[in-house]
Amino acid sequence: MEKSQVYKKEYEKLSNIFKDVEDNQRELVQGLIEDAAFLYAENHGLKEIMKETGMVKVHPTNKSLQKTFESSKQFLKNVNCYSVVIKVLNSILNRNAIEDDDAFDKWIKEKQQVK
């Protein structure tokens, strides 16, 4: 699958997850959704490269001599950035989640109504 297709699929997935978020919050995170989809697609491309090259080149006769490929370094940077973006997006979703009252919340409401 091409990177543009991977981007589009990931963007649609994330946009769908955020479809019920308030308009102003969705506008606020729109750039992060785009960035997350971009990083996801870029890493997809890097994974394809690393399937052929691996992440590290090891010297054939001296195993202690190793060389890290630039693609693997960039992959790891992208993964770190992607995880931060997803954490931020997830925190927005968690703020929007409507939680049912637990037993403690019900007890507090009852006590407030008695007064």
- With 0-12 / 13-18 / 19 or more C-beta atoms within 10 angstroms meaning exposed / middle / buried, residue 101 is exposed
- The tally of domains found in the chain comes to 1
Structural domain containing residue 38: 3-114
* pLDDT average per 10 residues of sequence, the chain (115 residues): 94 94 89 97 96 93 92 96 95 72 72 69
pTM: 0.77
3-state SS, 15-50, equals HHHCCCCCHHHHHHHHHHHHHHHHHHHHHHHHHHHH
